[in-house]
Structure 1
Amino acid sequence: MRSNISLPVIQRVTIRNFALYPGINNAGLDITFADGISVIAGINGIGKTTLLTLLLRMILGPNDPEKATRSVGRVSQRRLVGIKKFDFFSKRVPGALGEDSFATLYFTLGKKNIEVSRYMRDLKIKSVRISGKKYEPQSETDFIDFLGSLSGLLSGYDFHMVVRYLQFFGEDRIPLLWDAGAQFEFFKILFLEETVASSLNDAFAQIQKIDTDYRNRLHQLNKRKESLPPATPNSAHIELETLDKMIQEATEAHTEAESQFLSKKNEYDELQKQLRKLDNMSDEAQIELAQLELQFSQTDAMFILQALPSLHDKEMFLMQGYATGCGCFICGSKSKKQLDNIGKKIRKGHCFACDATINNSKPSNVTPISSRQVRTLEEKIEDLRNSSEQIEVQRSEIEQKIHDASRSFREAVNLRNSALHKREYLEIQRPSQNQKPIVGLQAEIDREQDALDILAENRREFTARYRTAVDRAQDRMGELKGTLESALTSYATAFLQEEVKVAFSRQTPFKIATGADRVNIPTFTINMTSSTHKIAHERLQSNSVSESQKEFLDLAFRMTLLDMVNDNGSIMLVIETPEASLDSWFMRRAADLMRRFAPENTDISRKVIATSNVNGTQMIPALLGLVQDDGTITKLPAERENHLINLLDLTPPPAALDQQEVLSLLSEELGKFLHAK
């Protein structure tokens, strides 16, 4: 293992002028993450996942691996590229974001304190400070390469992969324990010496490149073989007259294909034009509808104000329900006591609804409004809504036509390209006026087959080099076998009730490329008991365990790797808790697993940042260590309140919170472990 590997540990994040996170009194968000577990709590749609994504992207920036793939063990292009239009956060708020909307992340990397600020509109770097000193990277990838060098990893690409897929267990998480190639990729990044890791990466890239070239050329060769005429005694020589006829036929076919292509292209372009026109009409209708609805609200209000000009009128209208025995128009209460209370407030000069002081009971500057004017606006709004619905119906029809037309368009493109290739190929075979007809196609096929044989031999040679490098990796993994087995078994047993054993295998088949021979790589597998297997047996696939077992065994594997690479330094894990797959018993076990990884009040800073829904389960109090052995829940002490980030207090309330029933349920849930304020 390479020495002195450090990974980022987030200390604090601030967010300014971003509508999703206005904070208390619109002061923005300022969150400090304490050692141990910090729980980001809220309900669906309130911004928990977006906040975790922001923490990740504040470190990594708007970058992704080139030719990103879900199978991280099969990447040959180990490079990062910038995302051309990174609008993940700007799309989550209305209106354009200016330069005053930015976030700042404070984190440590080894002995360095790093402060990076990024604009929320596109996450580009605003400023960077390293241990108090200003640092100006030339580009985003330059900054990630710099962080990679500070971490002790071999490249910015390796740093990106470790942070994104090992330290962050979010929505885009990938299986590590259950994917042999992914396991070996992270063993290579974290534990293998630079010479061995580089040998593996170089050989893998060469095998992939050669294999791609081989398969593409073989495909073209097979098409050329299909172009050969049937074997005859004179098949070695294609007569010039026959070749000219084939060229003429190919030219006619290409002309027809070109005509079909242009027709389909014009049809597709026209449909796109119609869709854009409907989009503009829809936008204009929505704007006009919003304006009319606002005008209607104002007109409706003025009509009521005009109808009830004096304080006495308003009082008589609102109290009519009590007077007639129908009860309050708002809540339905029929208590006469409420009638007396309302009268007392009004006589004392206070509004009984909002308790404001009544200065003047008569409205001023009220334009007389007739009910006909109100109805006219209602009719306009209804007509506009019907028009908008018709536009949406037309858009759906056009989108379906575009879907059908795009398929025909692609077929026409392929047909045209194929016809052009065939014509050009035949024209190349035709000798010039000064040449005698020669055998060209068969000779070219033979030369191409010889070239493919050389490529196949080169692929075998690099596969042998890769296998040799794997053998060196086997030795290193054998040295770490005992440590990994012990740590993973400990974490897995902490979560599962079953007996768990970890097995090390040196002979897991791994397919490097389509045409390459398989190579056996070192991996770890889980053996465990179950209700039907009293003796622990091997679980090679993720579908051989339950959903909750799969998720948290994979999490335990990440914890194990972080412990092994950490070497008693600060460490962090960010988790989007998969509560949906857990029953109440597993929730407590999962919380215990996370608290075991990041205990509080230790000499070494260890952190878990986890999201959880306020949904009536014990997950949040369990994560905070508030659930007792008998199942009772204690209150969160004041000195530990910073371990709970309650987004219900820091974000705009979603529509669900407009319902009193929902508010009552959430208040009751939080009241189980929070002191009343």
Structure 2
Amino acid sequence: MIAFPLIERVSVHHYALYPGRDGSGELELELGQGPWLVLGVNGLGKSTLLLLLRYLLAGPVRTRSAGFAGERDDLQAVNNRFFAVRVAGGAERATAKIVARFGAKTLTVERSLGTLALHHAHIADAATSRTLETEEDYRALITNLMGVAQFEDVVRVLDHLVFYLEGRQSLIWDLAAQFELFRALLTPTLSADLRRLEGEIVSADSAARNLNATLYKITQRRDRESNKRVTANDTRARIAAAQGELDKHVKDELALTEQLEAAEILRGDCNLQRKRSEKLVDDAAQAYEKLKFEVLRQAFAGVSPTDQYLYLKLLSERICIACNQAAPEAAAELQNRHDQGRCVVCGNPRKIDDNVESIGDALKSKASEAFQLLESRRAELEEFQGQYAKANEAVYALHKKVSNVRVAVEDKQGLIRRLRKNLPAEESLALSREEERIRTLRGEVLTFRQEREAAERAIEDLLAQLSAAVEQVREKLELAFLEQAAPFFAESVRLVYAPRTAKIGQGGRSFDFPAFEVEMTSGATLGQFVRRTPEQVSLSQREYLDIIFRMVLVDVLGAGAGSLAIDGPEGSLDAVFAGRAGDLFARFSATGQTNVLLACNIVEGGFIPHALSNYQRSDRPGRIINLLEQATPTQALKTLQPLYLEKVAEIIERDPG
């Protein structure tokens, strides 16, 4: 079971940026369900407070950028003095504590703000409790609490889902990040194997390419040295001739091997297209058969279900259920009556009301459209089958050529070895060493390619399982996205499951990776224009599509429990959409065990009133974390604080309108 952290309490002690209301050095925040607004002006530490929550949970680490990264580590250390350098004195005494709930269990984590070192972590539920002192034990604990397999996946979830901070790590617009998140959340038992095989593919592919480059340089050097010795005698001349022929065969082998690899990739792509087309044909055939059945059933309106079954059996299978004999003439007569609009049972012209007639015509029209689509899909399938057959033939032909040229290589190598026995010992030894090195490198290249192919075969099944897991929640995600996005956007917006096809290494096979994208229909042009990329939408649309996608994942995958922390949600909004954004956050955190922490400036407009619309005026101040009163004031704030406080009070009192 996946569980996202629901942040319930935060306290900061002796950190100079947050002296507290009375200057005691204590900042205590009690957080419950619903939206919470971290209000302040530039320089008061709004962003720092959200970053502090993130580092309390994750510690001083981050993950590498999303994408296929080979066998290097996913976790990277960050500056553990991140908070220390922001205040005088290096935050030597400063500590911070966070309390977060994961389902029925409550986690408390306390860290030093001077070094981000773990002081302790405490986990408790109704029956048990225990305290951990080491970072290693804590990482294992939070990994288990979240329901993922590796601590790296915990950090990915925090950075790509829970926290949407200044760096704006995208999710809906980053298909590689989606893959890594889905891998962590939907198939946690496979996550480590998927990551390991991905690393093996990238590393083997890279090693093969590097060795090929080295092999080329050595061969060139060998050729130059060989050319200097070729003038000595007839033996050297024959060796040189044989070596030239061998080099040609080797080059032919390399070229054919690359062609074979490309042909196998093309065959794999054609096979992928063929399989997709087969599924489309199956789907179209099922849709057509269903409509065809409905058309026939409409023809038997008024006939009892038992009699309908008898006639439909005769029509569909051409067998009389009474005598169990083939009855093609009777079936043809029934079909002819149906096609002519007569009663299928007696043959008389049908007398039915207009409504039934219109339903029948509509079903026939849909059935005709479904049949046309089925024929189109079958034509596409036939074309893809033809492409696959051609690709398959090309692969077999290249295999034969590669086999022949390898035989020729072995023959020439044997001839050269026999001729070298007639050369002086030292010259023969030097050439033999160079040839042996070339032979070894060629073998290593082949080995790495075989390792890559083996890893590709192994990862294919795991990716299929991941895709199946995403398919299981696909409809829920799409419906939840529509429910959240429809009240916010003026345009028609929907979430679409759109798997991407990509290679894990620079060479090798292509695979389907589960991914979602958004489709937004714009009315800005004479016709409707569908926008799918971040470059085609505005900054606010780009950010809020990402935010809504995160909300949907928390709601669907986390069973409606968890926190979102968002920095600067008001920054890109105009006057109208500020109110809609406030309603979005109010609606998201109104049900279930969710809350959202919004760090924003003191802004006019509807954002703050709408975000607090679920609360009475008297309760709204309790939803505000007012850094004007609890953070160290900037020089400008020392002069303008009364005006800012007055403006905060005025905004809180204002009702949405």
TMscore range, shorter length: 0.5 to 0.7
Partner of residue 585 from structure 1, selected from 576, 580, 584: 576
Partner of residue 197 from structure 2, selected from 200, 203, 215: 203
* 2:188 maps to 1:187: no
Match of 2:620 in 1: 640
Match of 2:206 in 1: 212
Q: Is the 8 A contact 1:211 1:515 kept in 2?
A: yes
Match of 1:621 in 2: 609
Match of 2:515 in 1: 523
Instruction: Give the 5 Å matches for 1:142-541.
Output: 142-192=137-187, 194-195=189-190, 197-230=191-224, 436-506=429-499, 508-532=500-524, 538-541=530-533
Partner of residue 82 from structure 2, selected from 66, 72, 88: 88
Partner of residue 5 from structure 1, selected from 2, 27, 32: 2
* Displacement of 1:189: 1.4
Structure 1 unmatched runs, 5+ = 240-430, 627-634
* 2:55 maps to 1:57: yes
Partner of residue 538 from structure 2, selected from 546, 552, 557: 546
* Displacement of 1:193: 5.9
CA 1:87 to 1:581, structure 2 compared with 1: closer, same or farther past 3 Å? same
Measured in 1, the distance between the counterparts of 2:89 and 2:231 equals 71
Q: Is the 8 A contact 1:87 1:121 kept in 2?
A: yes
Measured in 1, the distance between the counterparts of 2:83 and 2:474 equals 42
Match of 2:598 in 1: 610
Partner of residue 17 from structure 1, selected from 6, 11, 14: 14
* Displacement of 1:534: 7.2
* Displacement of 1:95: 1.5
* Displacement of 1:104: 1.4
Partner AA of 1:669 in structure 2: K
Measured in 2, the distance between the counterparts of 1:574 and 1:532 equals 33
* Displacement of 1:530: 1.0
Measured in 2, the distance between the counterparts of 1:225 and 1:193 equals 47
**Residues 623-667 of structure 1 deviation map (CA, whole Å, 9 limit, x = unaligned):** 2228xxxxxxxx9623332210110000111011244xx446524
Partner AA of 1:144 in structure 2: R
Q: Is the 8 A contact 1:34 1:643 kept in 2?
A: no
Partner AA of 2:113 in structure 1: M
Q: Is the 8 A contact 2:165 2:566 kept in 1?
A: yes
SS of the aligned residue for 2:218 comes to: helix
Match of 2:353 in 1: none
Partner of residue 671 from structure 1, selected from 642, 645, 649: 649
Q: Is the 8 A contact 2:520 2:530 kept in 1?
A: yes
Q: Is the 8 A contact 2:579 2:606 kept in 1?
A: yes
Structure (1/2) with the larger helix percentage: 2
SS of the aligned residue for 1:494 comes to: coil
Measured in 2, the distance between the counterparts of 1:47 and 1:553 equals 26
Structure 2 unmatched runs, 5+ = 234-423
* Displacement of 1:38: 0.2
Measured in 1, the distance between the counterparts of 2:100 and 2:118 equals 15
Partner AA of 2:596 in structure 1: V
SS of the aligned residue for 2:507 comes to: coil
* 2:118 maps to 1:120: no
Partner AA of 1:170 in structure 2: L
* Displacement of 1:434: 12
SS of the aligned residue for 2:7 comes to: strand
Partner AA of 1:672 in structure 2: E
CA 1:432 to 1:561, structure 2 compared with 1: closer, same or farther past 3 Å? farther
SS of the aligned residue for 1:26 comes to: coil
Measured in 2, the distance between the counterparts of 1:667 and 1:433 equals 92
SS of the aligned residue for 2:88 comes to: coil
Measured in 1, the distance between the counterparts of 2:193 and 2:530 equals 32
Partner AA of 1:524 in structure 2: F
**Residues 50-103 of structure 1 deviation map (CA, whole Å, 9 limit, x = unaligned):** 0001111111111233xx22x2565754653554x51111111012333x4211
Q: Is the 8 A contact 1:184 1:523 kept in 2?
A: yes
**Residues 427-460 of structure 1 deviation map (CA, whole Å, 9 limit, x = unaligned):** xxxx998995434334422321232122123212
* Displacement of 1:497: 0.6
Measured in 2, the distance between the counterparts of 1:432 and 1:32 equals 86
* Displacement of 1:548: 0.8
CA 1:176 to 1:536, structure 2 compared with 1: closer, same or farther past 3 Å? farther
Measured in 2, the distance between the counterparts of 1:434 and 1:611 equals 76
* Displacement of 1:131: 1.9
SS of the aligned residue for 1:622 comes to: helix
TM-score (norm 1): 0.63
Measured in 2, the distance between the counterparts of 1:238 and 1:572 equals 81
SS of the aligned residue for 2:516 comes to: strand
TM-score (norm 2): 0.65
Measured in 2, the distance between the counterparts of 1:80 and 1:675 equals 46
Q: Is the 8 A contact 1:525 1:539 kept in 2?
A: no
Q: Is the 8 A contact 1:128 1:134 kept in 2?
A: no
Match of 2:337 in 1: none
CA RMSD of aligned residues (A): 3.0
SS of the aligned residue for 2:214 comes to: helix
**Residues 364-398 of structure 1 deviation map (CA, whole Å, 9 limit, x = unaligned):** xxxxxxxxxxxxxxxxxxxxxxxxxxxxxxxxxxx
SS of the aligned residue for 1:581 comes to: coil
CA 1:162 to 1:436, structure 2 compared with 1: closer, same or farther past 3 Å? closer
Q: How many residues align?
A: 461
CA 1:669 to 1:500, structure 2 compared with 1: closer, same or farther past 3 Å? same
Measured in 1, the distance between the counterparts of 2:489 and 2:61 equals 37
* Displacement of 1:615: 3.5
* Displacement of 1:673: 2.8
* Displacement of 1:31: 0.8
SS of the aligned residue for 2:497 comes to: strand
Partner AA of 1:181 in structure 2: A
SS of the aligned residue for 1:174 comes to: coil
Q: Is the 8 A contact 2:143 2:151 kept in 1?
A: yes
**Residues 295-346 of structure 1 deviation map (CA, whole Å, 9 limit, x = unaligned):** xxxxxxxxxxxxxxxxxxxxxxxxxxxxxxxxxxxxxxxxxxxxxxxxxxxx
* 2:28 maps to 1:36: no
CA 1:238 to 1:621, structure 2 compared with 1: closer, same or farther past 3 Å? farther
Match of 2:364 in 1: none
Match of 1:109 in 2: 102
Measured in 2, the distance between the counterparts of 1:589 and 1:74 equals 40
